[in-house]
C-alpha cells in the first residue's frame, strides 16, 4: 500500500509539472483553443465511466453508470469537435505568424 | 489482456501530452488535436477489453448516443457560441466524474479510507464543475441574464452549503454510506456549484469556465486514483495543472485576480444599469455622414466586439476595410484580450473572415495610437471600450484593461440598440461629445456604409 501511495504521488507531481510546462508561454490567441483542447483531454473520464458502468450490478448503479458514460462521451466528442473547428481557423491563416 | 490495456493507456498519455504541446503553438495546433483524438480512440477501444466488463450493450448505447449528441451540437454551433459549448462539454466531464464516484460509493466495495476520500473529493469537484458549468452555459447562452445575480446573505448561504457538503462527504468516508447519504452529498455540492457561479458577471465568465475546466481535470485525476486508472490520473492531473495556469493567465490578461472574479460581485448590490453621473446624450448619425467621415479619414481603428460576431458582420467589415484601404485610408484592428467572449476569440473570428494578421493589434500595441486616429469605429463592443473601467472604483469592470477609444478624434459606434453591454453597465463613451451612434444590426449597417463609401 505504502509503495502504491508513493508511486501515485510521484505520478501526480510529475504530471502536474508536465501540464504546467506544456502550457507556459502560450500566445493569448491560443488561450481559448487550448482551454478547449484541455477540455477534450479530460474527456478521458469516459474510460473510467466505462469501467464503472461495466461493473455495475444493481439497477441504480447501471443508471448512474449509463449517465456517467453518456456524459463522458459528450465531453470527449464535443471537446474534440469544437477544438478542431477552432484550430481549423488557424491552419488557413497561418502564414505571417501571430 | 491487462498488459495490453496498460500499453494502450501508456500510448494514450504520451500522445495526449505531445498533442497538448503541439496545440500550444499556432503552426502545429491543428495536428495537436488530431493526435489527442487518436489517443482517445485508442484508450476507449482498449477499455472495451477490460477484464470482467459487463453491461457492454449499455456502455455502447451510452457512448454512441452521447457521442452523437455532442457531435451534432458541436458541428452545428456558430463560431460565436463556442465558449458556452466549451462550458457545457466541460460540465459533462465533471458530471461523468461525479457519476463514477456515485457508482463506486453505491457499490461500497472500497475499503481503504484513503481511496474512499479520493473518490469523494473527486466526486465533489466533479459535481461542482458540472452544476457551475451549467450556470455558466446558461449565462452565456442568454437563458439567464449575464449580470451578476445577487441576493442578501448569499455569501453566508454558499459557505453553509459548502460546509454541509464537506461534512456529508466526511460522513461518506467514515460512515457506512448508503444511498440517502450519497444523494444528500451530491445535492449539496450541486447547489453549491450553482450558488457560487450565479453572482459572477458575464464578463468574467471565460475565467470561470477555465477554472471549472481545471477542476474537472482534477476530478478526473482523483477518480483515476480511486479506480487505479493511470490514463485518468495522468491526463486529469495534466489538465488540472495546465488549466490552473491557463486560468491565471486569462485572469491576468483581464487584470483580475481569481478571488476578485469569484467573490467580486458580493457586497455590491448597486444597480449598474443606472446612468448616474453620466453627462451628455446619445447622438445618432446617418450612414452617409459616417461614410464621409471615414472616407476622408487618414487613419481608422476598428474595434470589434461580440455584437459584430453575433451579426456575422466580420466578412462585411473586412470588405469595408478593403474599400477604405483602396481609398488610401490606414486601417487597423484593435483586439481586446477578451473581445468576443474569450481570449483569442475575436482573432479566430476575424481570421475566419480573411483579415490579415498584420492588421490585428493587441491592446498594448494599439492603445497609444488612438490619439492619432481620425476615427475609431466601434462595432458591437461595449464593456471593453468603457472608460469607466479606468476611473470608477465602484464599477463591476473597474481595473479591467480597456481600449482608449475616447482618445480618437471621432468615435463611431455601431450598436443594435440602447441596451447595456454584457456586464450590464452603462457606457460613458457613448455620451461623449465626439461620439456618434449608428443604430442597427452590425451587418446591415456595415453593408450600408460600404454602399455609401463607394459613392464618395
Residues B307 and B439 both lie in one domain: yes
Q: What is the mean pLDDT of chain B?
A: 88
In whole angstroms, give the CA distance from residue B160 to residue B67.
37
ipTM: 0.90
Taking contacts as CB-CB distances below 8 angstroms, the residues of chain A near B213 are 35, 38-39, 42
Which of B76, B100, B131 is the endpoint of a domain? Answer: B76
Q: Which residue has the higher pLDDT, B347 or B132?
A: B132
Residue among B168, B197, B198 nearest B185 (CA):
B168
Domain assignment of residue B116, given as a range: 84-263
Active-site residue set of B: 383
Contact criterion met (CB < 8 Å) for A37 and B19: yes
Is B217 in contact with A37 (Cβ distance < 8 A)?
no
Q: Of A28-37, B267-276, B307-316, B409-418, which range is least confident?
A: B267-276
pLDDT tens track for B315-342: 899 999 999 999 999 999 998 877 776 7
Question: Domain boundaries in chain A?
Answer: 28-91
Q: What is the pLDDT of residue B265?
A: 57
Q: What is the spatial distance between Cα B455 and Cα B280, in angstroms, rounded to a whole number?
A: 33
Interface of B with A in 273-312 (CB under 8 A): none
What's the CA gap between B199 and B244, in Å, rounded?
A: 21
The answer to whether residues B214 and B258 touch, using CB atoms and an 8 Å cutoff, is: no
Query: To probe the interface with B, which of A13, A16, A25, A43 has the most B CB atoms within 10 Å?
Result: A43
| Mean pLDDT (whole number) for B46-66 | 95
Whether residue B442 lies inside any domain: the answer is yes
Q: Do B96 and A71 touch (CB under 8 A)?
A: yes
For residue B255, is pLDDT > 90? no
Residues 6+ apart with CB under 8 A from A11: B230, B233, B234, B237
So what's the pLDDT on residue B92? 97
Q: Name the residue in chain B with its Cα closest to that of A93.
A: B351
Closest residue, chain A, to B65 (C-alpha): A70
Cell of B237: 492531473
What pLDDT was estimated at residue A89?
73
Residues B48 and B32 in one domain: yes
**What's the pLDDT tens digit per position in B341-389?**
676 778 878 877 888 878 888 888 899 999 999 999 999 888 888 888 8
- The whole-angstrom distance between A67's CA and the closest CA on chain B is 7
B58 touches chain A (CB under 8 A): yes
Region B423-446 average pLDDT? 86
pLDDT at B258: 82
Nearest CA in chain A to B362: A28
pLDDT, residue B162, reads 95
What CA–CA distance (Å, rounded) separates B296 from B254?
35
Answer whether residue B214 shows pLDDT above 90. yes
pLDDT in tens, B285-314: 888 889 999 999 999 999 988 788 878 888
> Contact B37/A33, CB-based, under 8 Å?
no
Give me the number of domains chain B comprises. Answer: 3
- Enumerate the residues of chain B whose CB falls inside 8 A of the CB of residue A16: 237-238, 240-241
Q: Element (H or E) spanning A18, and its range?
A: helix A2-23
Model confidence at B60: pLDDT above 90: yes
pLDDT at A93: 46
Q: In this predicted model, what pLDDT tens digit does every residue of B2-28 receive, in sequence order?
A: 789 999 999 999 999 999 999 888 788
Position B234 confidence tier, pLDDT thresholds 50, 70, 90: very high
* Residue A12 vs residues A9, B17, B39, B226, B230: alpha-carbon distances, Å: 5, 14, 20, 13, 10
- Are residues B108 and B176 in contact, defined by beta-carbon separation less than 8 angstroms? yes
Establish if B60 touches chain A: CB-CB under 8 angstroms: no
The predicted pLDDT at position A98 comes to 37
B263 pLDDT band, cuts 50/70/90, is confident
Answer whether residue B216 shows pLDDT above 90. Answer: yes
CB–CB contact B43 A69 (8 Å): no
pLDDT at B111: 78
* Residue B415 β-bridge partners: B439
Is residue B106 domain-shared with residue B71, that is, in the same domain? Answer: no
**Residue B104 and residue B194 in one domain:** yes
**What residues in B contact A49, CB-CB < 8 Å?**
96, 99-100
The residue that leads in pLDDT, B421 or A19, is A19
pLDDT in tens, B159-213: 999 999 999 999 999 887 789 999 999 999 999 999 999 988 777 888 899 999 9
User: If you measure CA to CA, which chain B residue comes closest to A96?
Assistant: B357
Share of chain B above pLDDT 90, in %: 55
From chain A, the residues in CB contact with B353 under 8 A are: none
pLDDT score recorded for residue B455 = 87
CA distance B362 to B334: 6
Shared domain for B35 and B178, answered yes or no, is no
Q: What is the pLDDT of residue B270?
A: 40
Q: Which of A25, A31, A71 lies nearest to residue B92, judging by beta carbons? A: A71
CB contact (8 A) between residue B242 and residue A23: yes
Compute the distance between CA of residue A98 and CA of residue B356 in angstroms, rounded to an integer: 10
Residues of A in contact with B11 (CB under 8 A): none
Which residues from chain B sit within 8 angstroms of residue A36, using beta carbons? 82, 86
Q: Are residue B101 and residue B128 in the same domain, yes or no?
A: yes
Please give the Cα distance from B98 to A64 (Å, whole number).
Answer: 10
pLDDT of residue B273: 44
Query: Among residues B51, B76, B101, which one ends one of the domains?
Result: B76
| Residue tagged 482608449 (cell numbers) | B404
- B352 in contact with A, Cβ within 8 Å: yes
Torsion of CA B8, B9, B15, B16, to 10 degrees: 150
- Cell readout for B323 is 474599400
**Between B56 and B341, the higher pLDDT residue:** B56
Mutate to test the interface with B, among A2, A12, A39 (most CBs of B within 10 A): A39
What pLDDT shows up at residue A31? 80
Q: Does B220 touch chain A (CB under 8 A)?
A: yes
Q: Are residues B313 and B194 in the same domain?
A: no
CATH code at B416?
3.40.50.1220
Q: Same structural domain for residues B442 and B355?
A: yes
Nearest in space to B81 (alpha carbons), one of B238, B306, B269, B267? B306
Mean pLDDT, residues B48-55:
93
Low-confidence residues in chain A, pLDDT < 70: 1-3, 90-98
Is the CB of residue B112 less than 8 Å from the CB of residue B169? Answer: no
Percent of chain B at pLDDT exceeding 70: 94
Residue B348: per-residue pLDDT = 76
Amino acid at each position: 500500500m505504502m509503495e502504491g501511495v508513493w508511486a501515485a504521488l510521484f505520478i501526480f507531481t510529475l504530471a502536474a509539472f508536465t501540464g504546467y510546462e506544456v502550457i507556459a508561454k502560450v500566445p493569448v490567441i491560443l488561450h481559448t483553443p487550448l482551454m478547449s483542447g484541455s477540455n477534450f483531454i479530460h474527456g478521458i473520464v469516459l474510460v473510467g465511466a466505462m469501467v464503472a458502468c461495466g461493473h455495475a450490478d444493481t439497477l441504480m448503479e447501471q443508471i448512474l453508470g449509463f449517465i456517467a458514460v453518456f456524459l463522458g462521451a459528450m465531453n470527449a466528442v464535443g471537446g474534440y469537435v469544437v477544438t478542431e473547428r477552432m484550430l481549423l481557423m488557424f491552419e488557413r491563416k497561418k502564414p505571417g505568424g501571430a | 489482456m491487462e498488459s495490453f490495456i496498460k500499453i494502450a493507456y501508456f500510448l494514450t498519455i504520451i500522445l495526449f501530452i505531445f498533442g497538448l504541446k503541439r496545440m500550444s503553438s499556432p503552426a502545429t495546433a491543428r495536428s495537436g488535436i488530431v493526435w489527442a483524438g487518436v489517443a482517445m480512440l485508442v484508450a476507449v477501444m482498449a477499455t472495451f477489453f477490460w477484464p470482467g466488463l459487463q453491461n457492454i450493450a449499455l456502455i455502447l448505447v451510452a457512448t454512441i448516443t452521447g457521442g452523437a449528441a455532442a457531435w451534432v451540437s458541436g458541428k452545428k454551433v456558430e463560431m460565436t457560441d463556442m465558449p458556452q459549448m466549451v462550458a457545457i462539454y466541460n460540465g459533462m466531464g465533471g458530471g461523468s466524474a461525479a457519476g463514477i464516484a456515485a457508482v463506486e460509493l453505491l457499490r461500497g466495495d472500497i475499503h481503504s479510507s484513503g481511496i474512499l476520500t479520493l473518490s469523494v473529493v473527486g466526486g465533489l469537484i466533479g459535481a461542482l464543475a458540472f452544476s457551475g458549468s451549467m450556470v455558466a452555459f446558461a449565462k452565456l447562452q442568454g437563458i439567464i441574464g449575464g449580470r451578476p445575480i445577487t441576493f442578501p446573505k448569499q455569501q453566508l448561504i454558499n459557505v453553509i452549503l459548502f460546509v454541509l457538503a464537506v461534512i456529508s462527504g466526511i460522513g461518506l468516508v467514515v460512515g457506512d454510506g448508503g444511498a440517502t447519504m450519497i444523494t444528500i452529498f451530491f445535492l449539496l455540492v450541486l447547489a453549491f456549484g450553482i450558488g457560487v457561479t450565479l453572482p459572477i458577471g458575464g464578463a468574467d465568465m471565460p475565467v470561470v469556465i477555465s477554472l471549472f475546466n481545471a477542476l474537472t481535470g482534477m476530478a478526473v485525476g482523483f477518480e483515476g486514483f480511486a479506480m487505479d486508472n493511470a490514463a485518468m490520473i495522468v491526463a486529469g492531473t495534466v489538465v488540472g495543472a495546465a488549466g490552473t495556469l491557463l486560468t491565471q493567465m486569462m485572469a491576468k490578461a483581464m487584470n483580475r485576480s481569481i478571488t476578485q472574479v469569484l467573490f467580486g460581485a458580493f457586497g455590491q448590490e448597486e444597480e449598474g444599469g443606472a446612468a448616474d453621473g453620466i453627462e451628455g446624450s446619445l447622438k445618432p448619425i446617418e450612414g452617409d455622414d459616417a461614410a464621409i467621415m471615414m472616407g476622408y479619414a487618414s487613419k481608422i481603428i476598428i474595434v470589434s466586439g461580440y455584437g459584430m460576431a453575433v451579426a456575422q458582420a466580420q466578412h462585411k467589415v473586412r470588405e469595408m476595410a478593403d474599400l477604405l484601404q483602396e481609398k488610401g485610408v490606414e486601417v487597423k484592428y484593435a483586439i481586446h484580450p477578451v473581445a468576443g467572449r474569450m481570449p483569442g476569440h475575436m482573432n479566430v473570428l476575424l481570421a475566419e473572415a480573411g483579415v490579415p494578421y498584420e492588421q490585428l493589434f493587441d491592446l498594448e500595441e494599439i492603445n497609444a495610437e488612438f490619439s492619432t486616429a481620425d476615427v475609431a469605429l466601434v462595432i458591437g463592443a461595449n464593456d471593453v471600450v468603457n472608460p469607466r473601467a479606468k476611473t470608477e472604483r465602484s464599477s463591476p469592470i473597474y481595473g479591467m484593461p480597456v481600449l482608449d477609444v475616447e482618445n480618437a478624434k471621432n468615435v463611431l459606434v455601431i450598436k443594435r440598440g440602447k441596451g447595456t453591454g454584457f456586464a450590464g453597465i452603462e457606457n460613458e463613451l457613448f455620451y461623449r461629445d465626439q461620439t456618434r451612434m449608428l443604430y442597427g444590426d452590425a451587418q446591415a449597417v456595415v453593408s450600408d456604409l460600404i454602399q455609401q463609401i463607394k459613392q464618395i
